[in-house]
Structures are given as structure tokens and as C-alpha cells.
Structure 1
Amino acid sequence: MSRKAKEAFKTGLAMTLAYWIALSAGWEKPMWAGFAVGLVSLGTIGQSFDKASLRMLGTLMAAVVSFALLGCFPQERWLFMLSLSLWVGYCTYRMGGSRYPYFWQVSAFVTAIVSLEAGFNASNAFRVATLRIQETGLGILVYSLVALFVWPVNAGPKMRATARELTETQAQLLRALVDAIRGGHAEPARTLRTSVYQQQTTLCALLDAAETDSIEVHERRTLWRAFRRNIEALTEAMERCGVAIFGQEKLDAEPLMPSLASFEEEITKRLAATVDLLGGQSPGFVPTTVHLPRPPGKSTAVSHFQRAALTAATGELVEIERLTRELYETVATIRDLMEAQPVPRPPQPSGFVYDPERFLAVARVMLMQWMAYLLFIYVNDLPGGVGFVILVTSLGITASNMPQVSMLNLLVPGLVSTTVAGVVYVFVMPRLSSFVGLGGLLFTMTFMICYLFASPKQALGRTLGLILFVTIASISNEQSYDFLTVANTGLMLPLVFGLITVASYVPVYLRADRMVMRLLRRFFASSEHAVVALANLAEEPGTARGRHKRAFHTHELASLPSKIDAWKPSIDVQMLPGNTAQGLQPLVDSVAGLSRAIKTLVERAQAGHPQAIVDALGEEVGAWQLELRQVLESLAEDPTLGRSDVAQQKLVEITARLEARIESALVGGEASPLSAEEEERFYLLLAAYRSVSHALASYVTRAAAIDWTPWHEERFA
């Protein structure tokens, strides 16, 4: 039996058992137990347990909030709805920055269910909340037992396999970077970085699950979390190394860095030994220290910009050496081959930073909820009644936090599911006379839905199909049949999806290409702010507003590349080079590269400038900053502007002028001699400026390859 057939069988079995227990106990609305079964069934025990615990805790939180709302506003429906919408908006906001977004999602929509179905009656609210908690707990318990005893799948082995694959990919990425330093092409490294990020995302999800379903991983969870942070830091160091050598691929650094070959050999062996440890082997490997030489001196036949690139790359290689040693030691400690060392505490998240996307999600979900509530009050015989408001709230939360996914794509599957469930409800269920037949029907329908929608990309369709079937069936001990149940559901779905679609136009139009353009403008505006603020980085902003502004732009630079990448699959492929979704990938990569380059520039500028260089090169550096600011300002107004040949020509001119000025300042004696530390800081800063310029020129080159005309056209979509 295939894996997806086994998972569908487990879900069908749990659904049948949950209904049998609920009906035997005489509970009302056993469909809530069915909801719990369908929504917590995931690929591994740990993932299911994690989601189940969040659903249970979210339900308990929702019960408390519902009691509070009904107790405060028993007769004031407008104040009640205002408070409910504010709570749903708050939960939606917390979803965007929480490690446990599902907890906040459940807290929001279950609050709407309990408080709205209670009908402003506190005693009824207690009954509904208690029943909801009972049924949810039953569904969670039943599926948990089924997952434990029927073809159990633990996340631990998958997590270790992913960790091995990720470490192997890191080794390949290292070899690609070293090859680029030797003068090879940088494209293989860019391709491998995409795989590394995908594997890191998978590892994070599996590690959280493995901490739940694996005793061994749970006992060493501190070390495994340190492994995850270490592998992420290693990826970041390799990214910075790639930024440092970007544009210098033709420089053969082998004669200038004679220890590069031994460095590559040692780090490759170190990562291979780490892979063996993760696979359960004991390689008997002992890391040895690799000393990389200082960057070439003034007498070396390389330009100052080439020396700057090598200085920055050498610094990152030293960091890579440290991180790979720590990575090996962490895994060896997990295997009990080394004594445990104190694990440093992870950095704590910073305070509040304004995020426009999170507030946009809040505005959209509150708008949807109020539109649904007003329709419920003022439209007689609204299909679904209060269920319409609840469904809009539930789907609205999902739509607001996943704006890239068009909810209209679920309309056809929803109508098909309604039709199939309606046929079963009208023509099959009335012929059943015992739970044997009903249980077989529940198992068959659940199995079919889970089997047909087994792909992770079909998760929303699977969830919607299960919810619609369970809702339309409305199974209870005193079963009755009414065709209006099917008709109301069929009429309600277009209204719900239509309302959600209307809300996508307010307060901003969420068309994918427009969103990418909007995000690009914001990115370049924040980039311009970072360049303008370079002169004052040594001084903290004197006001709270200034500190928040700096934190906001720093957050924008770090987060916008991933937000742009998230919208990429939603863009019409006819608007992209090659008519494929990957046609935008080079542009997204250039934005991410520019983000890293600016971050590095800001960090190195904060370390301070050697005063002698500031006095000698202040005018040229100021002209460079002005040129960067002008280009960024024009791109903030229109990201499609710019010609790659002009940008490259300006870069060559500025580089040549600054190269000559550095030569006269350092070699000609215009500036006082620099200490070794000052010289290193200067070349690191010079490398950062060069990286920003090259990354900006790369963006302009990639943008020139796209036909932006359709992006500016007005059309209804």
C-alpha cells in the first residue's frame, strides 16, 4: 500500500471511530470531532501532535474570550461585533510573527463560532464552548491513538535524513564558492543556495515535530536547536562570501591564497564526517585548524578592489572554518562522542517593528467580517445564516495571511465537493439503518478525499472537502434530511468567495504583478534610506521615532526579498521571460543579493572608518554614495527604469577614479600609514561598497531582460 493510501486509511479510520464514540455518548454535533480529525492529520506523528496541541489550546483560549465578550456585551450587538472583530484582527496580526500561527488562527475562528452560535446567551455559550472542547479533544485523542498504533511515522528519521542532505549540499556549496574564488563561474553556487534554503525550511519543520515524537531528539533538543542555528549561520557566512567575490569571478586567487586548497580539503572532510555522524557512523575524524594567510600586501599585483574582495572573502572563510568546527562538535555531542559544552542562548527577537503586510492582513480580515455581519443583519434569508459569518471569518483569516493564493481557485473544488456530498446526503444516507453502513460511508468518503488531495499543495482543497462533507452530512443521533441544507451550502459558497475576492481590492489591489512592483518600490526606498544614513550610523537616532524608522527600514531590507519571492508563482507566466515562473528568479536573486550587500555595508560602516582614509577619500566616497542614492531614488519611483549599459559604465568610471585616488592616498603618501587593523577595516568597507554597486548593476541588468509593458497595463484580474 502506498504512503498516501496509508495516510488516507488512518484518517478514514479515525473519522469513523470519532463519530462512533460521539454518537454513542449522545453528544450533539459530532461533526466537530470530525473537523478535528481532518485538520490535525499530517504526515508524521510529531506534526500531528503539534498541530493537535495548538488546536486544543486555541480552543480553550477561544472559550475564555467568548465568555468575556458575551459577559461584557450581552445586549450590545454592535459593541460585541466590534470587540469580536478586534480580537480576530489581533489574532491575525499575531499569526504573521508567531512561531505558532495555528494557535492564533484557531483562537480567532473558534471565538467566532462559540460567540455567534451562542446567540448572545451566556448559558448557551457555556454549553457550546464545553461541547466544542469535548468534541475537539475527542477528535484529537482518536487520531493520536490511530497515528500511534497504525503505520506510525516518526519525524526523527526524516529529520536526520534531511540534516544529512543539507550538510552534503553545504559541502557542495563550499566547493562551488572556492571554485568561484579561484576564478570559476559563480552560477553553480547561486543554484545550490536555492536548494539549501529549501532544505533548511524542511529541517525546521521536521525538527519541531521530532522534538514531540522522538524521545532521543527531545532529550537533546537544545543541541539540535544549536545545530539548526549553526547550519543557518553557515549558510549566511557562505552567502556573505558569495557577495564578497561577486563581480570578481575572473580573478585567480590560487597564487594569492596558497592555503586555499588545504582549507577546502579540511572543510570538505569536516562536513563529510558530520554527514557520517548524522547517519549513525563513527568516522574517527578529528578536526584540524586551518590557518588562512592574510590578504596580499601592497606589493601584490592586484588592484585595491581585488584586494578588498579577497580580504572580505578571507574573513568569511575564517568564519566558515569556525562554524563547521562547531557544527561537527555539536553533532558529535549529540552522538555522545564528545562531552557537552554550554550552548549559547539564541538571540532574543527585537521589539515591535511595523510590518505593512501584517497590518494589511488585519484590515482585510476585519473588513470581510464586517461585510459578512452586515449582510447577515440586513439581508433576509441569507444562505447559511450565522454559518455564513463564521465561514467568512475562517476563510478570511487564511486568505489574509496567504494573499498570494487566490481563494477563487477553491470555488470549483468547493462546488464539486458540495455536489458529491449532496448526492450522498440525499440518495445514500437515508438508506442507511445502522452505524455499520454509516461508518462504512464515513470511511469511504474520508479515504477518497484524503487520497485524491494527498499532495501538500492540495492541503487547502483537502481541508475544504472534508469540512463540506462533514457539514452537509450533519450526522446526529436524531438524523433528519433536508435538501435545503445542500442548497444553502451551494448558494453560500459563491457568496463567501465573492466577498473574499471583493476584499482583495481593498485597501490595496492584490494583483500579483502590482504587488511585486509595490514591494520593489518599498525595497529601493529602504535601500536609499540605508545609504543616506551611512554618514550618521555611528550615532543613534535621538528620538524614539528615529529609532523606529531605522528599525523599520532594516526590517524591510531583510524581509522584502522573501515577500517578493512568495508572490512569484502567482504572476501570469506570459509576463515573464521564457513564459515560465522561473523567469523572474534572476531578478529576485539580484534583490536578495542587494539586500545582503547593503546589510554588510551598514555593519562594516558601523565599525568606523580609519580617519586618515576619511580625510583623503572623503570626496570620492561621498560622490559614490551620491551616485548610489540617485540610482536607488529613481528605482524607488519606478523599479523598471534604468539601462544596464549606463549603470555598468558609471560603475566602471567610479571604480577607476576611486582606484586611482586610493593609490595616491596609500602609496603616494597623501594619507598617514594605516595600522594592520585599520587597513583591514578599510578594505572590508571598500569591498562592501563594491558589492553594493555590483549588486545594483546586476539588478538593472536583470530588469532590462523583462518586458515591463504588460506590468503597467490596466486590466481586470
Structure 2
Amino acid sequence: MNSKARFATKVALSLTLAYLIPFAMGWPQASTAATTVMLIASTGSQRESFEKGTLRVLGTIVGATVGLILVGAFAQDRFLYMFSVSIVVSFIFYFRNAYQSDPTLLMLTAVMTLMMSNGGDAEGAFLYGVDRAYMTVFGVVTYTLVGVYLFPSKAEQNLSALLQETLSIQQQTFTKISESLPGMIKPETSAATDASSCNDETEHEPTEEASPSLDELIEKLFTAQSTLEQRFSVVKKESSEIAAYLQEWRLVIHHSQKITQLLATASNARFNHNDTENYLPDFPDFIEQIDHLLQQSQQFLASPETGETFRFSENKLKANEEKLSGSDHLTRASVLTLGYLLNRLYDNASKLAETISCIDSITKTVSFKEQLAPSQSAFLWWDAENFKTAIKVFVTYWVAGGLWIAFNPPGGYSFVIFSTIFMAVLSFMPLHPKALGFLFTFGFLFAIPAYVFILPQLELGVELALFLFIYTFVGFYLFKGPITIFFMLGMFVLGIDNTMTYHFGIILTVMTLFYLVVLMIVFSHYFPFSSKAEHLFLAVRQRLFFHLHRLLVTMQNLKPTWLTRITLALHLKTANVASKKLLLWASKVDVSYFNNNTQEQLVLYAKRCGVLMGHANNLVAAQTILKNNSLITKLRETHIDTILPSLVEVHGKAKPDSGDHFDHAEQEYTKAEQALEAFFESLDLDQVNKNDIAGFYLFLHLKRNLYESLKNVEEASQGIDLDNLKMHRF
């Protein structure tokens, strides 16, 4: 059974039980438990754990408590009640969107806060709220038990597959880089194998596609590394297998990240020497050893028993001091930089291989000590879309509330509740409202015939169970994510209960209610903030380059204060989030409205921006490591980099003459590099630490990588028309 069918089966079984068990026990509001299952399945992840289930129950209880307190405090004043609920729910949905782990936790809190009111009827409000809270908890428990016991997640296998992919790309990238290093000689066996395979292909097979370029591999590497880190941050507490070896997995992520950074640093490095073997006698063998370590990591991950005896060992690529001392400054620095990079790669690759061999081992533990970076916050603060969603929740609640008070539409206060909940769930989702209307209508095309021809014929519980299972399975198999809600609403319109009353007027009333909810969602798509893909693409693009510009300016502060460090982290986090959103919205722009743009060019541009942020992350990480480098400190005291920040600012503002700025900047950057080389040649290298020399040149390589990546972004921007994307459309 594939993962899609497995997930659809899990949800279908959970929702069927959420209906049938309350029916058998004679409990009221069985649809509340089923709705809870639907909301969790459509907005949460596909992995379940007791911890998540417990937190969801607690979130439900907290929401019910807050809701009942508000009902009790303002039972006689509808305006104050609605005002307090709108404020509380707006804050909860802000935290729900900011929380990076399980979005259903705080969503259930907000839903229960909204659902505690019995449409303004104070009489019986407490029992009504308790019944709803009880059935919501029952839905959470049902979904959790089915997910944990009948459909246990394979979080460790999925994480291992992502790690295997990342390791494979790292090895391919290292092979590509090593082939371009000065004086690199391929091993004879490898060369013979390549020649033999080449001859075979020439004689028997057509020519295959060329291998990916180094830039393409770096792009894939950044993407794979980012995906691996995101998945680990999500599943590290959800899987007992990963939690049992949490320290080892953290070390794996740490060293994998270091290797990715080193490979990205070396990707555009310019080494000013020839015949490396004269300066680094063991150079070819050392390259082979690193390549072998990268292979071993993949082997140990696939077959843990093969790495039982492997241990990390220190090994340094040593330079020929006599040959090096007679060389000029640039050659000397180039050789030391290459040696430093390869030594760091070997060190991290060896530690990574040992750490992987310790995962799932009962007796083996890591033999070295490593200081890990602090874990990232579970909340994403200061995100613009999260703030906008909170404001949209407040506005939508009051617009729907005003319509309820003025016109009393079908459903009454339920119209306000559903409008607010569905708007918050779908806020800034890459889906056009007309698609929601289509899905909703599509669900009714299933529901109406079922209401007329199927439900009246059902007599046994097994028959009803089969109907519920099939309907839910189809919905979650065909659709994915929150949009599934609109197909599933067709089933909830049927009003399935122990005692059924068939009346076509009732079902038409409920259909009218949900179509009005869809109209409210269409309204919120445009007001108070537009959710059109092209608008968000432009807004996120501007945000990305604004924060990247501020990041580069802030990094040049020689004496950063605690406020500067906080600001730096804020700019870096916001720019990283913006680069991911840019790719999302680039792929969702409806280019049929914009003739001067194509989907491929927009996505290419967004991907180039993602690579740019990868290099920016490397520069920030290196600055932390090289902050005590004497040469870099001396350089910063006499030289301020104005070229990169100005280019980022010019590109972000999309000025018509940005191409001229880049042409002029090429000359300025060349002059700046020549000035840096002159500064370097004026030093007495015998008085400078070798690691400082290597670190200085690595810093220049990182700057060059950022500059080259920015040029690629500017080149990709020539294929898109930003003014064309600013055209107004409905």
C-alpha cells in the first residue's frame, strides 16, 4: 500500500469510528468528533504520536475553558462577547501559524473557543459547550489511537531516505569539485572504468544526458540539506526511534550541514597555483580518502552492521614547507586554503561516518565531543503573513458577525464560526477561491445522490460504516491538505445522525450556509490583504532583498552589541523564510494573465534566489567561526564592502538600469579583489598563523560565491517582467 492510500485509509477508518462509536453509545454531536478528525487530517502532518495526541487534548481543553469563561463573563452582552472572542481567537491563530511543529494543536484551541457559544443563547450554553469539548477530545483520541497502533509512522525510514539523498548529492558534488582542482589526477581504476563504460556506451547505447553542472549540484545540495533539516526538526520528538538516538541524529545533521557549507565554499573557489602535488604530496590519496568516507557514510546508513568497527581518526593533509616557503604570497595562500578546506572536509566526513554507524547500535557510542549550535525556536516570530492572518481573522469574524446580526443567514452563528475557521486555515494558501467553490460543488455532486438514493436504504451499521469509509477515502485519496475540507463538507451536509429526518429543505439550507461560507472566504482572499499569487510573489521578493541588504550591512559592524546580534538573526531568518515562500508563489502564479512571463522563468528566478540565500547562510556561519581571525579583523578596519550591499539593494528595487549597475560593479569588484591581493602581499606571512591565512582566503571565496550567485539572480531576472505582474485582475 503506497503512502497516499495508507493515509486515506487511516483517516477514513478514524472518521468512521468517530461517527459509529457515539451512535452506538447514544452520545450527542457525533459530527463534532468527525469534524475534528477531518480538521486534524487535512491541516496536520501524516505522522501520529501519543505526545501530539496529548497536546491536542490539552489544547482542546484550554480552548473549551477559555470559551466557557468568555460565555459566562459576557452572556448578557453580545457585543462584548463577540469583541473578546475576536481578539482572543486572532491571537491564537497568530500563534498557531507561528508555531513550527504541529499546527493542529493551537488550531483546536481556537476552534473550541469559537464553538463554545450556543448562538448567543445563554440557557444551556454550559452543557452545550461541555458536549462539544467532550466530542472534540473523543475525535482527537480516536485519530491518535488509530494512527499510532494501526498505522504507525515510519519517521526514521523517511528521515534516513532524505539523509541518503543528501549524502549522495554531497559525494557527487565533491567528485565534481575535485575534478576541477589544480593538479588533480584521477585514480587509474576510476579512469579505466570511465573509459570502459564510455566505450560500451559508444558501441551499444545512445549517448546519455550530460551529468549535472556544478551549479546545478550546489542548488540540489542546498535544497536537500534544507529539506533534511526541516524534516528532522518536525519528527525528532514524534518518533521514538529517533528520540532514542537523538544526540546521534543531531550530530549527523550538524556534520552534514558543515560538509554542505564547505562544498558550497569550494564550488567557486579560485586557486592561484598549479601542480598541487608538489606542494601537498599526499593530495591525490587524500582526495580518495575523503571520497571513500562519503561512500562509507552511505554504506553505514544502508547497512548499520558494516560500521561496527569504524572510528573517527584525525588525519591532516600536510604541506611541503620547503617548497611552500619559496613561493609567492598568492601561491602560498592558495595552497594553504586548499589544504584547510580538505582537512575540514575529511574531519567532518570522518565524524559523520562514525556518527551514522552509531545510530541503531546498542553498544557503540560516539567517541568524540562536539559543541552543537542551540536548537532553533519552535516559533517563527515577526512573519508578515502571520500578522496579516491574525488581522484577517479579526476582520472576517466581524464582517460575518455583522451579516449574521443584520440578515440572520442560514446556520445563524455557525456561519460566523465556519467562516472564521476556514478563512484562518486557508489564509495565504496557494489556492484560488474559485477552485474552492468547484471542490465544494464537486462534493455536493456526491452528497446529493447519496442523500436521495443511498442513505434511506441503509438499515445496518455496517452499511453506514462502509458508506462513510468510502466517501472519506475518496476525499483524502484524491485531494491533499486543507482543500480536502471542501470536498468533505458534502458529507457533513447530509446531517448523519442516529435518528435521520429526510427533508430536502434542510439539506438546501445547509448547502446555502456553506456556499455563504465560501463567499466569505472569497472576500477574505482579497480583503483586507490580497492573497493573489503574483502579489505575494512581488511582496516576498521585495522583503527578501530588503532583509538581505540589511543583513550584509549589519554584518560589517566591527563591535556588534546584543541588539545588533538580535537584528542580524532576525534579518537572516526573515530572508530565509522569504526565499522559500518566493519559490512557492512563483510556482502558483497564473501566467495566463501575464503574457510577458512564463512559469519556468519565475521558478528559475526563485531557485536562484534560494541558492543566493544558501551562500548568504554560509557567509554568516563562517563569520562566527572566523570572528577572531587577525587578517579579517585588520581588513575590516581599513575596508568596508559597499559593492555587495549596493547590488542587493539595486536588484531588490528592480531599477531599469540595474544591468548597468552590475556591469559597473564587475569592474569595481575586480579592482577591490586586486586591492585585497595587494593588501595580502604586503603582509609578512611568516608572522601570521596558517589557519588565519586560510581563513582569510576562505572569507574572500565566500564573498565571491555570494557575488557570483547574485549575478546569476540578476541574469535570471532578465527573463521575467515584474511590471507585468503588477497588472490588476480579479
TM-score interval, normalised by the smaller of the two chains: 0.7 to 0.9
Report the equivalent of 1:590.
Answer: 608
Determine whether 1:124 maps to 2:137.
Answer: no
Alignment of 1:449-598 (within 5 A): 449-453=475-479, 458-469=480-491, 471-540=492-561, 549-573=567-591, 581-598=599-616
Quote the offset at 1:415 in angstroms.
1.4
Of residues 709, 713, 716, the one that matches 1:699 is: 713
For residue 77 of structure 1, report the CA deviation from its aligned partner: 2.2
| Aligned partners of 1:383 and 1:492 also within 8 Å | yes
Q: Indicate the residue corresponding to 1:416 in structure 2.
A: 442
Verify the 8 A CA contact 2:18 2:34 in the aligned structure 1: yes
Q: 1:208 to 1:600 in 2, by over 3 A?
A: closer
Counterparts of 2:555 and 2:14, CA distance in 1: 60
Aligned length in residues: 691
> Does the 8 Å contact 1:311/1:684 carry over to 2?
no
The equivalent of 2:61 in structure 1 is 60
Q: Matches of 1:548 and 1:63 in 2, distance apart?
A: 37
Partner residue, 1:445: 471
**Partner of residue 204, structure 2:** none
Alpha carbons of 1:291 and 1:487: their partners in 2 closer, same or farther (altered >3 Å)?
Answer: same
What TM-score, normalized by structure 1, do the two folds share?
0.83
Paired amino acid for 1:511: K
Q: Would the aligned equivalents of 2:329 and 2:680 in 1 still touch at CA under 8 Å?
A: no
Q: Does 1:630 align with 2:653?
A: no
Q: CA deviation at 1:63?
A: 1.1
Higher alpha-carbon deviation: 151-160 or 57-66:
151-160
Runs (5+) with no aligned partner, structure 1: none
1:362 is aligned to 390
Q: 1:266 aligns with which of 275, 289, 292?
A: 289
Question: In structure 1, what residue type is equivalent to 2:396?
Answer: M
Q: Does 1:331 align with 2:352?
A: no
Partner in structure 2 of residue 689 of structure 1: 703
Bigger mean CA deviation after superposition, 292-301 or 12-21: 292-301
Given that residues 436 and 483 in structure 2 are in contact (C-alpha distance below 8 angstroms), is that contact kept between their aligned partners in structure 1? yes
Match of 2:411 in 1: 384
Q: Deviation at 1:314?
A: 5.5
Cα pair 1:167 1:275 within 8 Å, conserved: yes
For the Cα contact (< 8 Å) 2:423–2:524, is it kept in 1? no
3-state SS of paired residue (1:473) = coil
Distance 1:37 1:572 in 2: 33
CA distance in 2 between partners of 1:245 and 1:168 (Å) = 17
Gap change, CA 1:90 and 1:307, over 3 Å in 2: farther
Q: Which runs of 5+ in 2 are unaligned?
A: 185-211
Q: Is the 8 A contact 1:274 1:328 kept in 2?
A: yes
Aligned to 1:654: 668
Give the letter aligned to residue 422 of structure 1: I
TM-score (norm 2): 0.81
Match of 1:245 in 2: 267
- Kept in 2: contact 1:211–1:221 (CA 8 A): no
Residue pair 1:44, 1:152 contacting (<8 A) in 2 also: no
Contact 1:38 1:463 in 2 (8 A): yes
Change (3 A) 1:371 1:303: farther
Given the superposition, is the C-alpha separation of residues 670 and 398 from structure 1 closer, same or farther in structure 2, using an over 3 Å criterion? same
Matched, 1:679 2:704: no
Cα shift at 1:33: 2.5
CA contact (8 A) 2:236 2:242 kept: no
Residues 247-306 of structure 1: CA deviation (Å, up to 9, x unaligned): 7499988557665543443333333333333334422544443323569968657968x9
Letter of the structure 2 residue corresponding to residue 583 of structure 1: Q
Asked if structure 2 preserves the Cα contact closer than 8 Å seen for 1:243 and 1:593, the reply is no
1:218–1:671 distance in 2 versus 1, CA, 3 Å = closer
**Cα pair distance change 1:94/1:680, threshold 3 Å:** same
Tell me the distance in 1 between the aligned counterparts of 2:674 and 2:466: 83
Residue 107 of structure 2 corresponds to which residue in structure 1? 105
Asked if 1:394 corresponds to 2:421, the answer is: yes
What code does the residue aligned with 1:383 have? Answer: P
Matches within 5 A, 1:239-318: 239=261, 241-246=263-268, 248=270, 259-283=282-306, 284-293=309-318, 315=340, 317-318=342-343
What CA distance in whole angstroms lies between the structure 2 residues aligned with 1:589 and 1:642?
A: 20
Taking a change above 3 Å as real, the CA distance of residues 148 and 662 of structure 1, as seen in their structure-2 partners, is closer
On the 8 A contact 1:418/1:486 being kept in 2, the answer is no
How far is 1:515 from its partner? 2.1
Greater shift, 85-94 or 43-52, is seen at 43-52
Corresponding position: 1:715 with 2:728: yes
Work out whether residues 156 and 242 of structure 2, in 8 Å CA contact, stay in contact via their aligned partners in 1: yes
Instruction: Indicate yes or no: 2:458 matched with 1:432.
Output: yes
**Quick one: percent identity of the two aligned structures?**
22
RMSD (CA atoms): 4.1
Q: CA deviation at 1:357?
A: 2.4
Structure 1 260/5 Cα, relative in aligned 2: closer, same or farther at 3 Å?
same
The structure-2 alpha-carbon separation of the partners of 1:344 and 1:163, relative to structure 1 and needing over 3 Å to count, comes to: same
